[in-house]
Chains A and B, each alone.
Chain A
């Protein structure tokens, strides 16, 4: 295999990897705030694309505004889901909450099917169908959008976490909920904010990919599993690890297509997930719980 060809696979890996990274960030934010895996995370990805298509094609909004509406509306769905379903479970029992998110995932995809139909729906490319050449490899302009938006989201999240009071409060809740409560941080509010943010991140991924792949009511679970695998691979609860996990998973998929066969592409995420859970459950960047003590 030539260098150019390899670079082409690397670029494809980066593109998919950054999508997984955004979804994985959603998993990690909610896990940090609640200790729960949100199995509706893939549906936020689906809704981001679907609601943007709706705003663009059905409402006739210009594309940038339609994208904004899609992401904001999905964030609102995330917040309502937390207030209406998660918060109602007063004892916060993680197992019950996980089942609630599984149910929520089904409700959201069924509703999308009823409201927007069973068919795949397209969205135009953000800035035309051009491409640029990178050392001979082809880089589509939409891929640049995907990488750029992911980078922007990661930087924004870093800023929020490290430079603002809200981010500090969210970290404080994740590190020690009791201590957060005694210094007067509203830990319930932080959970709602985590759902809002996680939904927005998933939606951004869905929005950015839809021009390349189209979207449908049932695209959520596949991406959800991959984002989950990426979050586990990096180490749950750590945003940087989620991004690294997403990129590594994207690369692994790409490499598997290059050297094995595209048939097994979707199995890679599951194999990685199982391998990590068996061998290094704290993830590649996670600290072992034994070290912590």
Chain B
């Protein structure tokens, strides 16, 4: 079943078309990727999918409901979580607290109940703390639980952001260039974490510049070039697609100039 439906989405900045009539589906339980050379419109599309930006035309619906123009906390409650290309953490809070902050938006007692320490909120606070620990284990950060986020090594910061996003109990996790700046070993452990997350039942959509990770983990890939969708399909077909090869080769040509 289609969890996220993107239909004829377009976005212009001045005279430039950043996203041009893009449509695709993300099916429940899949890992899907959106790739494309620099300037293909990936980040703009990503911001539209997470309701940080509005499309000029088109529709994005999550589980049958239109999400365009909704405030971020509504999107989160609907079951969509995201990470940023430039990791956004609560720097002065511990790794464990970062994840717990994500969990509170969706707990039953909410903020005021948690402040009042009603009997069930005490239990819930304990559950939140335990869930946060489980998520840290899931991404392999359990040893860093008490470290302030500011002191985490660069490669682990992105895993923490993913754990925090999972604390909101999303059905769909959107990752913006999760492998950017990671070395090979870190990318491999990221891939492992993505499999574990998918196996827990969370659907994943990755927007990524780098082909390596995407070819390994994705079930399906959408390729953008200059804002438009030029191909869609499983990794093996994408690798052989002449339009995709041309788009990426074109970029390399540009790089050489």
Contact = CB atoms under 8 A, between A and B. Distances in A.
A127 interface: no
B28 to A, nearest CB: 21
Contacts of A179: 84, 88-90
A3 interface: no
A141 to B, nearest CB: 31
A1 interface: no
Interface string B94-123: 000100111111110111101101000000
Contact of A165 (B88, B89, B100, B168): B100
Contacts of B117: 164
A165 B91 CA distance: 17
B79 to A, nearest CB: 10
A186 B105 CA distance: 8
A111 to B, nearest CB: 29
Interface in A215-255: none
Contacts of B232: none
B93 A184 contact: no
In order of increasing CB-CB distance, the 8 nearest A-B pairs are: A184-B76, A184-B105, A165-B114, A179-B88, A165-B104, A166-B115, A166-B111, A183-B102
Interface of A: 160, 163-169, 171-172, 175-176, 178-186, 189, 193
30 contacts: A160-B115, A164-B114, A165-B104, A165-B109, A165-B111, A165-B115, A166-B112, A168-B97, A169-B104, A171-B90, A171-B92, A171-B93, A172-B90, A172-B101, A179-B88, A179-B90, A180-B90, A182-B76, A182-B81, A182-B84, A182-B88, A182-B165, A183-B105, A183-B164, A183-B165, A183-B167, A184-B76, A184-B105, A184-B168, A185-B105
Interface of B: 50, 72-73, 75-77, 81-82, 84, 88-93, 97, 100-107, 109-112, 114-115, 117, 125, 128, 164-165, 167-168
